[in-house]
C-alpha cells in the first residue's frame, strides 16, 4: 500500500510539536508528561483526526457543536482507539444541553448563565462536567471570557470575579479544572508571555484563596505554545502546527 502522504505529514508535524514541547519543558525544568497536547481539529476532516490518533494523540479540540456532532460519532465508529473531546469554542446558551453530554472537557465557561446551564444539564445527564473558566486578561477586546484585564489594580474587578468563582463552585456536577485564556494573535510568541504569566498569577491567587487544587491551565496555541509551557500551561491547544492551515 502506498503510504498516505497527508497522514505522514500529520505524523511528522506531531513529532515536531512534541519535540518543541520537550525543549520548552527542559528550559524550565518541567516534565513533558505534565503537558496535555490538545490537537485542535476544527474544520479538519475525520480522516486527519484518525491519522493523528494513529500517530498516538488522544485529545482533540473542536469549537462548533454542529461540526462536532458529525465528527465525534463518525470517529467512534471508525476506530477502537479512545478519543477525548475538548470544547474550546463559545457556547450559545441553548446549545449547552448538547455540548455537555458530547464533550469530556469544556474550556469555554465564559459567563454566569452558561455555568448555570452546564450544571443543570450535567445533573440531568448524571455526569460531572469538567470545565475551565475562560478569562480575558489581555485588555484587548476579545469577544469572550470574563473581563479581567484590571484584576490586579481594580479591587472591584477582582472581588466580582471571586464572587463569581464562589458561585460557580456551589453549582452541582461541575468540576473546575482551572483557567483558560487566549492571547491576542501575534506572530511573535514573546508578545503572549506577559498574558500567560498573568494568567498563572491569577490561577495561583484563586488556588490559594479558595484552597483548591484547580490543577490545570489551558493556554498556548500554534504560535505561542512553547512560551505558554514556560509560563505554566498544563494544556496547550494546537491546531495549525499539527493539521496545517485552515480555510
Ligand X SMILES: *Cc1c(COP(=O)(O)O)cnc(C)c1O
Judged by beta carbon, residue 33 or residue 187, the one nearer ligand X is 187
Note whether 218 and 180 are within 8 A (CB). Answer: yes
Q: Distance (Å, rounded) from C-alpha 120 to C-alpha 95?
A: 13
Minimum separation from the CB atom of position 237 to ligand X (A): 4
DSSP annotation of 175 reads: E
Of 35, 40, 109, 219, the one binding ligand X (CB under 6 A) is 40
Q: Distance (Å, rounded) from C-alpha 124 to C-alpha 51?
A: 35
* Residues between 44 and 63 with contacts to ligand X, criterion CB under 6 A: 63
Of 83, 88, 100, 165, the one binding ligand X (CB under 6 A) is 88
Of 118, 182, 229, 235, the one binding ligand X (CB under 6 A) is 182
Q: Distance (Å, rounded) from C-alpha 119 to C-alpha 114?
A: 8
DSSP annotation of 171 reads: S
Minimum separation from the CB atom of position 42 to ligand X (A): 6
Note whether 120 and 174 are within 8 A (CB). Answer: no
Instruction: Record the cell numbers describing residue 23, joined without a space.
Output: 525543549
* Maximum pairwise Cα distance, the chain: 64
Of 18, 152, 222, 234, the one binding ligand X (CB under 6 A) is 222
Judged by beta carbon, residue 120 or residue 147, the one nearer ligand X is 147
Judged by beta carbon, residue 20 or residue 120, the one nearer ligand X is 20
> Is residue 156 exposed (0-12), middle (13-18) or buried (19+ Cβ within 10 Å)?
exposed
When asked if residue 232 is in the footprint of ligand X (CB under 6 A), the reply is no
Note whether 100 and 69 are within 8 A (CB). Answer: no
Q: What are phi and psi of 87, to 5 degrees?
A: -90, 120
Minimum separation from the CB atom of position 168 to ligand X (A): 20
Judged by beta carbon, residue 178 or residue 239, the one nearer ligand X is 239
Stretch that binds ligand X, among 21-29, 125-133, 146-154, 237-245 (CB under 6 A): 237-245
When asked if residue 233 is in the footprint of ligand X (CB under 6 A), the reply is no
When asked if residue 221 is in the footprint of ligand X (CB under 6 A), the reply is yes
Residues forming the site for ligand X (CB under 6 A): 40, 42, 63, 88-89, 182, 221-222, 237-240
Amino acid at each position: 500500500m502506498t503510504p498516505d502522504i497527508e497522514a505522514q505529514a500529520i505524523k511528522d508535524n506531531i513529532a515536531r510539536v512534541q519535540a518543541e514541547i520537550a525543549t520548552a519543558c527542559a528550559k524550565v525544568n518541567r516534565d513533558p508528561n505534565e503537558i496535555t497536547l490538545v490537537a485542535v481539529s476544527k474544520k479538519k476532516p475525520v480522516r486527519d483526526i484518525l491519522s493523528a490518533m494513529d500517530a498516538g494523540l488522544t485529545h482533540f479540540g473542536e469549537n462548533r457543536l454542529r461540526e462536532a456532532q458529525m465528527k465525534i460519532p463518525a470517529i467512534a465508529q471508525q476506530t477502537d482507539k479512545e478519543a477525548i473531546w475538548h470544547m474550546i469554542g463559545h457556547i450559545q446558551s441553548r446549545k449547552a444541553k448538547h455540548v455537555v453530554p458530547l464533550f469530556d472537557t469544556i474550556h469555554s465557561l465564559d459567563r454566569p448563565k452558561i455555568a448555570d446551564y452546564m450544571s443543570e444539564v450535567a445533573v440531568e445527564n448524571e455526569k460531572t462536567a469538567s470545565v475551565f473558566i475562560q478569562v480575558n486578561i489581555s485588555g484587548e477586546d476579545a469577544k469572550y471570557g470574563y473581563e479581567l484585564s484590571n484584576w490586579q489594580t481594580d479591587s472591584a474587578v477582582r472581588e466580582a470575579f471571586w464572587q463569581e468563582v464562589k458561585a460557580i463552585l456551589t453549582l452541582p456536577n461541575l468540576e473546575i479544572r482551572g483557567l483558560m485564556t487566549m492571547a491576542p494573535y501575534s506572530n511573535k510568541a514573546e508578545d503572549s508571555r506577559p498574558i500567560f504569566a498573568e494568567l498563572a498569577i491569577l490561577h495561583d491567587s484563586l488556588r490559594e484563596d479558595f484552597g483548591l487544587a484547580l490543577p490545570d491551565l489551558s493556554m498556548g496555541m500554534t504560535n505561542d505554545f512553547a512560551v505558554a509551557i514556560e509560563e505554566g500551561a498544563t494544556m496547550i491547544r494546537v491546531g495549525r502546527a499539527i493539521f496545517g492551515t485552515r480555510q
